[in-house]
Every structure is written in structure tokens, then in C-alpha cells.
Structure 1
Amino acid sequence: MNVLVYNGPGTTLGSVKHAVETLRDLLEPYYAVSTINSKSLQIEPWDTKTSALVFPGGADLPYIRECQSIFPRLKKFVRDRGGIFVGFCAGAYLGSGRVEFAEGNPALEITGNRDLQFFPGIARGPAFDGFQYDSEKGAKAANICLQDGSEFYTYFNGGCVFVDADEYDNVEVLARFVDEPCVSYYDESIRTKDSGPAAVLLCSIGKGKALLMGPHPEFIPRLLSKTEDLRFLKDVVGVLLQYEDQRLRFLRDAFTRAGFNCNNDFNRVRAPNLTPLLVSSAPEKRNMVNEFKKSLIADAFNKNDCGKSTEIECEQNIFQVYSGFQNCYETAADILRNKDPDEVVKTIIFPDENEILPPVKTVPNYDIAKYFKYLNPDNTVGSLLLYGEVVTSTSTLLEQNKRILLSAPSSSLLHVGTIQVSGRGRGGNTWINPKGVSALTVAVDLPLRSPLTQRNISVVFVQYLAVLAYCNAISSYGPGYEDLPVRIKWPNDLYAMSPDYYHKYDIKLLGRGSDKFLVPLSEIDPAYVKIAGILVNTHFMADRYVALLGCGLNLSHDGPTTSLNSWIKLLNKEREAARLNRLEPIEVEKLQAFYMNNLQSLLKRFVDYGAGPILPEYYNLWLHSNQVVTLNNHNDIRAKIVGITEDYGLLIAKELVPGSNSEFTGSIYHLQPDGNSLDVFKGLISKKVS
């Protein structure tokens, strides 16, 4: 399930970054934490696929302007669906019944009732004086006391106290300010009890919960330390660093009480150090490695000889380029230790003249020799491997440094990372990809026209080819693997049957791997869950298309859905009952090599003959044949999906006679998605063509 952090007008860059990083540390692998904007909140079916919606710090008036239309839906999400609302600082003001902020100060005053009213009372602030928008001048380390009497300091900047919080039956106070606030936290006329100023609340709303925090315990001290403000470093960050363990324990306890399944090792899941990027190829193609290195250094914007390395500058990053795995690995790794992954100079190591592959000790989680063993020796695609144990993002590194792409031989470069600390998805969402996720980005080139037919190449089809190639790699992994219930969700997501659905309906899969009718069309949504998605970035470079195909596939990591190797275990139970041999777990190196083999084959067929011969294979694996959709921009008419156009890859849908699922009016529509959507079929743009 998703945990969505609002990122739009009203938020600050820092508040979103701190919230997202803390939530990922706290909740992954059990939830997929990502950001969402106001448009997506309005048009997407987020409430059916989400456990929690989070509003971070910032300013609540812009939140209201952008998101007011979704407030009724948000309240229903919490009250009726059992969802969780989390509000930090401005989000806590937003989730209260009334805001009274800086009353009497014309420059800052904001007062008024609020619609959500998860906390029915007043959120009054700033609790402590000195607040200034877009500034740390009023920030402080605030002392808060927990229910067990323990205390710790947390970041505070403009947050509220919850007035008369003890008077409400649906409210539990999880933490209180120790210091007396600068605003009143009670109303004398109604107060019957007073245990101190409420700083953090857990509110029960129907089936759901609202977790509201006046201070900012989600703010991470190590990130706050990146400042030149000496007062802030000493008086705030210096204090917060002393209470880091208490902060983490409090967050885990508060989120567990709210109903989250939290990571039990929160204090150990910080993003690890990056590792050097290692370049290799099959022995017979080591000339490609030499060509890549020579071109990369020669064509860099700036380069400096640093003794053991050559420092080069690409579009976005600076790289230290070394020669010799054995002699240079530790030096290159030292540069990366205890540095910010997104800011540190990256290191690349090429083999020296006596080396081919990196020593096993430098790549304990990936068998490079095994990858090249299974890669077709005639392959160009994937024949030049850029591997890192811990990387930022395989997609972002190549996307932001096109000099690397231009330096590599055509259609050869594959970037693989065992752990991504800034993994990237559609819409700019980022996350940490842990071990067990097959994370890669491959660069492929396509001509503008087919050399065989001289027809123009429609580069949009590369996403279909990529997801089909991955499906084929899985089903052809070996005898029996074709029974894995893996399907394509248009246009380029990989889905697997939900184990819960499989058990609920006692479905049998042996011998039915290609059966398109395992699940009724009406139950596709609950029956299948996402295990991978293809991220495509296309560039026009040197009279050709260069497409970056990124993918993170749940191979043996189940959070937050399922994985291929979990399905191997389920299939093996059926196979044991039928007295068949067990299937071995899928190995990431072999699967990635098969993916490259299938991708090269499909790309060649596509360039030579177009999409027509390949589409039947895609249809055999997708979930949408004869699916009925509603076309919102055509008076909500109903239409049935019958295929994909061969020119621009649009869905073809025939209009249905009202009240029928089988009779057509004769009108045909071409459909495309409306941007990045959690459910593409809820945001289709349709154009009538006949």
C-alpha cells in the first residue's frame, strides 16, 4: 500500500524532504512512500490504494486553496476506509477544527475554522515566539514529555499547541511541551482537567486515525546540520543530535499506535554509503570498455589529472575515474564514505590491462561473471555493465549525465545497482530500493527510420517492448516458470497475482501460466498487484533516439506487495502436491541477462517490421482485452478496449450501446493516459476517430 506525502503549494522543500526520508526509514518495506500533488489528489483513485496521506510542514492556507475540493473525500478515507491522516506542523493546523495563528500580529495573523476537524478543537500558535516564514531564526529545540514521563528535544518552528485537548473523548495526547507556551493552551470556561500543553495528538475518527504533531519530530538532525548558521548549529542541531535515539523511538511508537506496521530496525536503515561504479564486459568484448573509457575522458567538459585518478565533469555530476579494481577500489570507496549520496563526487573504476571482471570481494551481492555467462554473446544490448553495490539511482545518473551515454558504444550500456538510495519512478517520485529489488537502467538506440522498410520509427513503442521483454525473460527462465502469474498493465507496468486473492479463491496455476482467464475482468484490480514498472526517458541525440529504460522489479523483496520468488514458493507447493520437481529461486543476474537477450530480439524485430507482428504477444500478456472503461471527457460513455494503434501506441476502444457489454455503436476512440496516474484507467483522454 501507498503512503502519500503532499508536495505542492504551501510545502517547503525541506519539510517534504524530511518527511519523505523519515517515513521511508520508518515504514519501508511495508509501504511504498512517495509524493503526490494536488491535481493527482483530485483526479486519481489514491484512496483505494493508500494507507495514509501526509501533509508536511509549510503553510496551511495554500493547502486549503489547492486541496479543499478533496477534503470530503479525505474525511471519508479516514472515517469509512480506515485510512490514516498525518499532519506535521502546518498539516496539524490543517487537520484541526480551528486555526488561531499569531493573533494580534498583522504581519502573520491567520485565524479561521477548518474543514477536516480531525481534532475538533483549536490549533493555536506559534507555541513559542520568534517564528518567521522561510527562516530558521525562530526555530528551536523544544523539550517534549511523553506519556511514560520521559523527555527529549525535537525540532520546532512555528507549530501549535492543541487547546483543551484533554476535553475530547476521541483524542489521546501522546506528547506535551515541557516549557510554558507563549499562547494559551486552555479555555478557563470549559477546562476540567489540565495535564500540560498538548504537542502531539492521536485522534480516532470512525475506522481511521489522525496523527497530528505541532513540532517536527520528523526532521532529521544530520540534514539540518547542513547550514552555515552557527547559532542554529549550536543551539538547535547540537541539542537535537543528543536525542536522536529518543526521537526515533518516539516516532516508531506514535506511528505504531496510529496503525502502521513499522520497521523494527529504524535506527539501522539510514541510507548506506555509495560504492564505486565498476565497468566490465565479457572477455571477448573488452575493447568496448577501452573505447568507453577513452571517449568518456576525452569528451568530458573539464578534466584534471589527480594522480591515481582523472577527475571529469559531466552535465550534473563530477566523477573520479580510476584504472584497476584491485589497486584502486579502497581509495575510490573512501571518497564516498559518510558523504551525502546526492552531493558527493562519484567514482568510476575501469579494469587495468591485466583485469577483466572486478574481484568478488568488491561485489558480494552480484555475480558479474554469471550475468555475462547467460548474456547472449551476440548481444549488443547490455554488453557493457556499469555496476554499483550502492548507487543513487540507475535512471537519474544516466539521465542527468548524457556525456556518459554519448561515450558508451551504441545500445550497450546497462547500469545495475543492488541498492538504490534515490530510486526514481514516474512523476519524479523517489525512494530507497533495498536488496531483493532488481534495479537497472539500460540504454538503447533506435534509428529514425527502419533500414529495412524505410518507415518512420515510433519510439513510444519502446515501453511496450521493454515490459514484454521482462515478461518473456521470466516465463522463459526455465521449464515451469511459465506458470508464474505475471501480467502487463498498460502501458508498461508488471503485475503479479495477489497471494491473498490466490488463497481466497483457491486458484491452481500449474499448466495455466498462459491462461488469460484466471481472473474475471471485473476483479483485475483486487486480483493483481504491482511488482515492477518501466520508466522511460527518451532523447534525440546524434540523429537517433536514445531511450533509457529503467526498472525496479520485486525479485525477493515482498514489501509492499509481493515478489517473484515468493511466487516460486507458492508454485512449489502445487508442484510438490503433483510430485513435480521444485523450481529454484530466480537469480537476479540470470534474469537480467535474459531480459537483455529478449529486449535485443524484440528491438530488432520492431525496427525491421514495426509493431504489428509484436502486438499479439503483448496482448497475450496484458490484463485489458475487452475491458470496459468510462470516457469522462465524452459524457461518461462506456467503451470496450480492443487493442493498440500501430502508429502511436494509443488504446483503441469501441463505444458500447447503452446497457450492453457486447453491442457496439460503431464509434471508435483512441485513448491515452492523462499524465502520471496511480490508476491510468481513471484518467484517460479520449479522441473520437470514427
Structure 2
Amino acid sequence: MNVLVYSGDGTSQASIIHTVNSLRSLLGDHYDVMKIDERGLLSEPWEESTSLIVIPGGRDLPYVRDLHGPVNERIKRYVHAGGRFFGICAGAYYGADRIVFEKGSPLEVQGSRDLRFYPGECRGAVYPGFVYGSEGGARAVGITINKQLFCQDNLLFDETAVYFNGGGYFVDADKYPGTQILAWYKNQPGQIDADVPGDKAAMVLSQVGQGLAVLTGVHPEYDAAHLDPKNPDYGEPPNVVTRLIEKESERRLFLRSVLAMMGLKVKKLDSVRSVGAPPPEALGGVPALTPLYLASIHPSYTTRLEQILTTLANTDSQIQETNDTFHLVPSPQHRVPQHIPTIVEIEGEEGEDKVVKNIVLCPTEPPPANLTPEFDMNIFFRHLQHVRQFGSIQNPFSSDFTFGNSLLYGQVVTSTQTMLDKNFGLCQQLPNGFVCNATIQVSGRGRGRNSWISPPGCLQFSMVLRHPMQAAHASAVFVQYLAALAVVEGVCSVPGYEELPLRLKWPNDIYAESPLEHSSQAHLKNKVIKIGGVLVNSNFSGSEFLLVIGCGVNTTNPNPTTSINHLIRYHNKITGKSLDTFTQETLLAQILFKFEQLYRQFMGGNGRGFEQFEEMYYRRWLHSDALVTLTTTTPHKRVRIKGITMDYGLLRTVAVDEQGRDIAEEEYRLQPDGNSFDMLKGLISQKA
């Protein structure tokens, strides 16, 4: 399930970063926390896979402009049907029935709002002096917690301090049925409406149909460890930042309790209590980036890569690329420098935490296992040699074999896909079949604009493929199909594993028929669950496509996530077999070898392209003769899926009448990157 954080125009980039990372640190064991903009909210079928939608701080008026109408209606239907909404600062103003902000000042904003999750008025700023794009109005404000609502969470404090910058309070919150006050502003000098008796509601929870909405005028998601105490807007120490750092542990516990109250699965209380202020290299509890180790199946390949990288580097041994800067470390015996991340905000783009990434060269052999405890590169290369030897009569050291010969591995990285695809100058110099993999990605990339933190046990990698443009019989669009097929066939072509229930969802997702046995998940039995996906990015380089193929597949994940090893254990149980489970190393080798086999056949095969895999593909996919609804037509059209075209990989559908009979003359062909296909809802909608 997903947690979606709105990242459209008007959102504060600093607020997005703090929101995403705090939620990942508290919810990341159970949810993918991803950013989404208004186009995604409008066109993607997000509702059934979403546990929480968040609108963070920023400016309310752009929200009004961009979310007006259909997007607001979808959000309201989602929450009323049992969803959850979290509005922070500007998101809280936007979630109220009415906003009154900085009345009588040049910044004044007044008016009604569409969502109306809080039935009253949100009025602010509680402490006047807000300045857009500045910390001039920032404060460490005290809040009093409504402890009786959190009694089972064992909060041992009645009040704490949290970041504030322009937020409002909820007028007459105690008078509205279905609304509970979670926290009040402590009555301190300088607040607006000082003559109003009682403390002002800082955070409320409202029952909205079958769902819940939490709106907060303060920022419980802000991590004080990543505010700059030297910023003159905060004043001389002890200042805003130092006061917040003193309360950091309480802030995390309070935010955890709020999320738990909303019915979300949160980290265990002991693990949250044990986390003090995180180190400067880790945002909000998200793990710090680790060195990248570069090694090859044969030292000569590493020598060649070292020459390429050294040519690209400056005198400080750094490769300064479009998206990232890489620092070359000559060997594992050399000291790996420490680089401090900074939050970079670029006008018109998303803010991100940036840090120089270390590439440790391993010129003679892969690094020892103690340097890469989650992925043994020696085991990977040995297994790759093994599958090449027994899967082909050719010499495993032959130059004909490409994929996986060189590997760049990091235990914790931003995104394997981004490091290759967004650094085009570097990627151009890398050999065909170069692979980058990781154990944890903190900014993983999916289709569209999705980004996420990877769950533990997920095999994730990206690889470079140079595909000739003149190969008319072998359109590059089929590469995504081949990569997804390679995941399934890489497992199911191994003797004994043929009956594992792995399936393909058009265009490039990997699904499994669920073997979940736990009573709490009995409703999922015999249903299909996504366990992986493929993303292909392309650039032009000379006479070829420079493709970066990204893949993530649940491999060793523990329950409740379904993984390939979970399927194997269940299969063993019901068949009496004793099939071995996969490791990250062995599965990666299987997939790379199978992809290389399929791709070679794709490029050869007497010019038949993907046609020679048609039967194999349909045997694995989920959609034969499935009935779905095209929402791109007016009126919507009921169609039957017939297959994919062998020229450009379009989805072939044919209209059906009221009795479900094919109307042969009405055929619709859909592009894989132009439509969003929600199989579980039985509809296809055009992407914005």
C-alpha cells in the first residue's frame, strides 16, 4: 500500500522533504511513501492502493487552482469511502471549510474551500509575521497534547514543542460533532485573537464519512536535526532549532501516535523511543547512503572501467555529472571520505537532499563480504558463471556475454535508475550490460512521477542496454516486455520451479497468485498481488538508443509482503518438494542471464522480433480475454483484451456488446506509456 504526498505547485520543497522522510522513518516498514502531483491524482487509479494522502505545507492558493474540480472530488470520495487525509499547515487551511489568513495584511487570503474535512474555519497565522520562502516567521511553539485520546500509546509527556511557520488554528473546534482536538497551542504572548478565552486548537481529527482527516497548523513532521541553527532568521542560540532539538524524541513519538490513531501500521514503540536525534547524514531516520563498490567478473573489465572513470574525473577525483557527483576511491584499502548532505531547492523543481557519492574501485577482486554484508559480490559472479556455463555451451568468459560482467553495488543508495539515467555523460561511457544494484533505495523511481523507499528484501537493479535504432524488426518498446518476461522465466525456467504462480501484468509489472494463509489476509487468497515491476528510460546516443532498464522484485521480503521466496516456501508446503529459496545474488544472476538469452533471440530470430515470444508471453500474462472499460472514450467503452500487436507492442482490444460478444469492426489499440491500466478495477484510462 502507498502513502501519497502531494508535490504540486505551491508546496514548500523543504516541507515535502521533511514530510516524506518522517513518514518513511515511521511507516516505511509497511508502506511505500511516494510523491504525486495534480496530474497523477487526476489520471492515476490510486485510490485502492493508497492508505493515506498528505497535502504538506506551502501556499494554499495554488492548491485551489490546481486541485479544483475533479481532483478534489476524487480526494473527497476516497476519504468518505474510508480513506485517510493528513493536511499540514497550508494543507490544513485547504482541508477546512473556510480559510482566513493574515487578515488586513498584504498576504490576506479569505474564502471557502472545497474539501471541507473540517467543518469550520482555519484562521491564522497564529503568530503573525509569516514571510513566504523565509524562516522569518518560524518558531518553536509549545503544544498541549490531548493525552486522553492517546492513552494506549503511553505518551509520557503532556506537552512538547514543534516547528511552526504560518499555521492556523481551528476556530470553535470543540463545537463540531465528529471532531476531536488532538492538541492545543499553549497560550503564549503574540498569538492572534488574544481576547478569545481558552487555548486554540492546533491539531484536529475529523470523522469524514467512513474515513478520517487530521489537520494540523503546526509541523510535527519537521526534523530539527536538519534545520540550520546558523540561519539568522532563527536568532542567536538558544534559538528555534536548539529548542526543537531538545524535544526531537517527543516529536517523533507524538507523530507516531497520530499516525497510529489514524489506523496506520507504525514502527514499534520501542524502536521509535530508541531513536534520538538522527545523525547529520540521515534524514528523518532514513538510512544514510553507503559507498558504491565497483567490481567485475574478471579484473580486466574493472581495469577498463577504471580508465574510463579516471578520464571523466577532475583533479579532485570527482566526476561532476548532471544529477550527481561521484568521488573515486582507488581501492577498498583507501579511506572513504565522508560527505555531508544538503537540502537543495531549485526553482521549479523538487528539492532533494544531495550528497557526493563514493565509488570504491575494486581492481583485482570483489570487495570482502564484510564491506557489503547484504550482497556478496563474489557469490553473484560465481553464480553468473555457473548459469552461463550450464545455460549455454559457450565459454562463460566469452566477450559474447555482457550483462552483469561489471557491477556497481551500494547497500543504501538514492536510486539505481537515477544514477544511470540522469547522469547521461557518465552513462554514455559505460559498457553494454553494466549493472547497478542496491539493497535499499531511498528515492526509488517507478512509472510516471512515482518515487518510493524500497522495502527490505526487494531485489532492485538498473542496467545499461545499447539498442540499435536501425533494428526495424525489433522495436525498443518491447525491451520492457522482455525484461519483465526475464524475471518470470528466470525463475520458472529453473528445473523444479516451473509451477510457481508468477504472472505478467501489461505492460511491465510482475504479479503473483497470492498464497497468503493468515486469517487477517484470507480475503486475498487466490488473488494476485504485485511483487515487482520494470521501468525503461531511453536516450539517443549516435545511432542507438541508450536504454536504462530498471527492475525491482520482492525476493526475500518477510510477511506480510508476498515475495518469490514466500511463493517457494508455500509451494514446498503443498507439494512436499524442497526447492531452495533464492538469494539476492542468485536471483540477479538468473534474471540477467535469462534477459540476455531473450534479447539475443529478439535481435536475431530470422527477423521475427517479439513474435517468437508471443506464446511464452501470453502463457504468463493475466489478461487473455479479460473485459475492461476504456475511460478514454465518451461514453466509456466496454472492451475485451485480445493481445498485443507485434509491430509496436500496443494493447489490442475489441469492443463488446451488452451480451459480451465481440464487435469485430471496433478495435482499439493502446500505447503502454500512454495509458494507465488498473486491472483490478477493470478499466483503462489515459494518462495526462
TM category, shorter:
0.7 to 0.9
Question: Deviation at 1:262?
Answer: 0.8
Residue 207 of structure 2: aligned partner: 204
Q: Following superposition of structure 1 onto structure 2, how do residues 462-473 of structure 1 map, counting pairs within 5 Å?
A: 462-473=479-490
Residue 96 of structure 2: aligned partner: 96
Relative distance call for 1:559 and 1:109 in structure 2 (3 A) is farther
Partner SS state of residue 161, structure 2 = strand
Deviations along 1:323-349, whole A, 9 cap, x unmatched?
A: 222x22xx11x4247888942222222
Q: Is the 8 A contact 1:164 1:186 kept in 2?
A: no
Relative distance call for 1:560 and 1:423 in structure 2 (3 A) is farther
Matched, 1:496 2:512: yes
Question: Deviation at 1:236?
Answer: 1.7
Residue 154 of structure 2: aligned partner: none
Residue 602 of structure 1: aligned partner: 598
TM-score (norm 1): 0.86
Matched, 1:312 2:337: no
Relative distance call for 1:233 and 1:155 in structure 2 (3 A) is farther
Partner SS state of residue 652, structure 1 = strand
Q: Which amino acid is the alignment partner of residue 389 of structure 1?
A: Q
Relative distance call for 1:506 and 1:35 in structure 2 (3 A) is closer
Deviations along 1:421-455, whole A, 9 cap, x unmatched?
A: 222222233222243111111111212234xxxx4
Q: Is the 8 A contact 1:280 1:289 kept in 2?
A: yes
Relative distance call for 1:602 and 1:339 in structure 2 (3 A) is same
Residue 536 of structure 1: aligned partner: 536
Q: Is the 8 A contact 1:34 1:429 kept in 2?
A: yes
Residue 172 of structure 1: aligned partner: 180
Q: Which region of structure 1 is more displaced relative to structure 2, 254-263 or 663-672?
A: 663-672
Residue 280 of structure 2: aligned partner: none
Question: Deviation at 1:232?
Answer: 5.2
Question: Deviation at 1:404?
Answer: 3.0
Q: Is the 8 A contact 2:420 2:426 kept in 1?
A: yes
Task: Provide the C-alpha distance between the structure 1 equivalents of 2:112 and 2:543, rounded to a whole number of angstroms.
Answer: 59
Residue 448 of structure 1: aligned partner: 469
Q: Is the 8 A contact 1:486 1:496 kept in 2?
A: yes
Q: Is the 8 A contact 1:671 1:684 kept in 2?
A: no
Q: Which amino acid is the alignment partner of residue 595 of structure 2?
A: L
Residue 271 of structure 1: aligned partner: 286
Deviations along 1:12-47, whole A, 9 cap, x unmatched?
A: 222222211111111112122112222222233322
Find 1:403's aligned residue among 381, 403, 425: 425
Q: Is the 8 A contact 2:624 2:641 kept in 1?
A: yes
Residue 662 of structure 2: aligned partner: 663
Relative distance call for 1:226 and 1:571 in structure 2 (3 A) is farther
Question: Deviation at 1:398?
Answer: 1.0
Gaps of 5+ in 1: 188-193, 509-517, 520-526
Residue 290 of structure 1: aligned partner: 303
CA RMSD of aligned residues (A): 2.7
Q: Which amino acid is the alignment partner of residue 486 of structure 1?
A: L
Q: Is the 8 A contact 1:161 1:185 kept in 2?
A: no
Q: Which amino acid is the alignment partner of residue 295 of structure 2?
A: S
Q: Is the 8 A contact 2:33 2:453 kept in 1?
A: no
Matched, 1:246 2:284: no
Relative distance call for 1:648 and 1:674 in structure 2 (3 A) is closer
Matched, 1:639 2:650: no
Question: Deviation at 1:49?
Answer: 1.9
Q: Is the 8 A contact 2:629 2:684 kept in 1?
A: no
Task: Provide the C-alpha distance between the structure 2 equivalents of 1:57 and 1:291, rounded to a whole number of angstroms.
Answer: 49
Question: Deviation at 1:319?
Answer: 2.4
Matched, 1:255 2:262: no
Q: Which amino acid is the alignment partner of residue 528 of structure 1?
A: V
Q: Is the 8 A contact 1:98 1:121 kept in 2?
A: yes
Task: Provide the C-alpha distance between the structure 2 equivalents of 1:560 and 1:126, rounded to a whole number of angstroms.
Answer: 43
Deviations along 1:63-92, whole A, 9 cap, x unmatched?
A: 22222323343333222x211111001111
Task: Provide the C-alpha distance between the structure 2 equivalents of 1:120 and 1:144, rounded to a whole number of angstroms.
Answer: 22
Question: Deviation at 1:120?
Answer: 1.4
Q: Is the 8 A contact 2:654 2:662 kept in 1?
A: no
Question: Deviation at 1:594?
Answer: 0.5
Residue 29 of structure 1: aligned partner: 29
Q: Following superposition of structure 1 onto structure 2, how do residues 156-555 of structure 1 map, counting pairs within 5 Å?
A: 156-180=164-188, 182-184=191-193, 196-225=199-228, 228-229=231-232, 231=234, 234=237, 235-264=239-268, 265-266=271-272, 268=275, 270-282=285-297, 285-298=298-311, 300=312, 303-304=314-315, 310-325=317-332, 327-328=333-334, 331-332=335-336, 334-336=337-339, 342-352=353-363, 355-375=364-384, 376=388, 377=396, 378=398, 379-409=401-431, 411-450=432-471, 455-479=472-496, 481-499=497-515, 527-555=527-555
Q: Is the 8 A contact 1:296 1:403 kept in 2?
A: no
Q: Is the 8 A contact 2:474 2:610 kept in 1?
A: no
Question: Deviation at 1:252?
Answer: 0.5
Q: Which amino acid is the alignment partner of residue 499 of structure 2?
A: D
Q: Is the 8 A contact 1:46 1:678 kept in 2?
A: no
Partner SS state of residue 360, structure 1 = coil
Task: Provide the C-alpha distance between the structure 2 equivalents of 1:416 and 1:233, rounded to a whole number of angstroms.
Answer: 45
Question: Deviation at 1:356?
Answer: 1.4
Partner SS state of residue 385, structure 1 = strand
Gaps of 5+ in 2: 148-156, 276-283, 344-351, 389-395
Question: Deviation at 1:277?
Answer: 1.5
Q: Which region of structure 1 is more displaced relative to structure 2, 558-567 or 156-165?
A: 558-567
Partner SS state of residue 34, structure 1 = strand
TM-score (norm 2): 0.87
Relative distance call for 1:619 and 1:91 in structure 2 (3 A) is same
Q: Is the 8 A contact 2:640 2:662 kept in 1?
A: no
Partner SS state of residue 613, structure 1 = helix
